[in-house]
Amino acid sequence: MQFARRLEKIPPYLFAELDRKRDEMVKQGVDIINMGVGDPDRPTPSSIVQAMHAAIDDPATHNYPPYQGTKDFREAAVRWMERRFGVEGLNPNTEVVSSIGSKEAIHNTFLAFVEPGDFTLIPDPGYPVYRTSTIFAGGESYPMPLLPERGFLPDLDAIPEEIARQTKLLWINYPNNPTGAVATLEFFAELVAYCQQYDILLCHDHAYSEMAYDGYKPPSVLQVPGAKDVAIEFHSLSKSYNMTGWRVGFVVGNSQGIKGLSQVKTNVDSGVFKAIQRAAITAYDTSEAELQSVMSVYQRRRDIIVSGLQSLGWPLVAPKATLYVWVPVPQGYTSAEFVTFLIEKCGIIVPPGNGYGAAGEGFFRIALTVSDERMQEAIQRLKDAGIRYS
């Protein structure tokens, strides 16, 4: 039995490899502090869980859901976009579709629009699915390096004209995984104009829209005038509401983009369980105070990690958003060498920056998904091992 040749082009998924390494070390009796995966360790807010219990008890939720999401769910998503971002006039029937989290919707968007000979513009470093889904669709990805000197924003002027004219999709993700960088509405406006010029679908992966600190509120690309002509935006409840396992979100924006994605989805999945959609509606009605109580946990952890690494010489500025801290490796190490050293010397698991793309070399990513105590212990292990940035 032989695999399809496309699988030869796809490396093992980064986080699956981290899980394998973790299991190997645990078998050796090592006490592992795993700061590798952005999977919140806090429980889903109780109001959402209670709504789910009630929805499960209702037999009306037990049959197939509408492919595009229930009417109530789509209308709740539209209300949330208006309340949160001031984006008005979205049509719940043609400009919104429910999604099983974001990952499947991201992948299916490639299948809807990319063919052999097409290019996709993807951030580097970036979420690995952007590159692998391009391969699955038969296209070719063109990386847009995210460099510290540019605030981890892509340089549109560096994209060759011939590539731009063959591009179907341009992907962005702000607040950004893995760098934690943020973008302004002014930059989003530049992206919208660029995609209008070259007839490109602008895809904004907004998975961390609510994971922000110090009073910062990330904007939506759909706030830019004319953005709906070329842009769709992916929202997920996974990170912001501690709901990674629930697999629910929505995609919103350009009606043609939504139509293409919906056509793929109706052929490959049967929608989101109705009970989960009802619980998600409750999540979107979560008060600002309750949401900020969740965010305060991650902000405190961010401060523990940033101040701890600063005490060891790391030149870090606390990120304004996401679950991550993007950290340069000490001089003399590659990313892979340093994270291997951390595993073997300190029992700390973090992913290497180059796992997110070639431009991620020289960095590693810390996820704020273990307790305060374990984060403090991780810093202490670095100190005990004599590890410093120089």
How do the residues of the chain divide into helix, strand and coil, expressed in percent and rounded to 5?
45, 15, 40
Range 339-349 average pLDDT: 91
**pLDDT grade, residue 271 (50/70/90)?**
very high
CA–CA distance, 200 with 196 (Å, rounded to integer): 7
pLDDT recorded at residue 9: 82
**Strand boundaries in 246-357, DSSP class E:** 249-253, 324-328, 348-349
CA–CA distance, 231 with 171 (Å, rounded to integer): 10
pLDDT recorded at residue 15: 62
**Strand boundaries in 35-147, DSSP class E:** 96-99, 119-124, 140-145
CATH of 5-43+289-384 given 3.30.465.10, 3.90.1150.10, 1.10.760.10, 3.40.1010.20: 3.90.1150.10
Helices (H) and strands (E) in the chain, counts: 12, 11
The helix/strand/coil state of 253 is: strand
Tens-place pLDDT, residues 236-253: 999 989 889 999 999 999
Range 348-376 average pLDDT: 95
Q: Has residue 27 got a pLDDT over 90?
A: no
Tokens for 170?
């341009």
Tens-place pLDDT, residues 207-242: 999 999 999 999 999 999 999 999 999 999 999 898
Average pLDDT, the chain: 94
pLDDT recorded at residue 17: 67
Tens-place pLDDT, residues 6-16: 887 877 766 66
Query: Domain residue spans in the chain?
Result: 5-43+289-384, 46-284
pLDDT recorded at residue 14: 62
Range 144-159 average pLDDT: 97
| C-alpha pair distances (Å), 64 with each of 59, 69, 70, 212, 261 | 11, 10, 10, 35, 19
175: left (phi over 0), alpha (psi -120 to 50) or beta: beta
Tens-place pLDDT, residues 105-151: 999 999 999 999 999 999 999 999 999 999 999 999 999 999 999 99
46-284 — its CATH code? 3.40.640.10
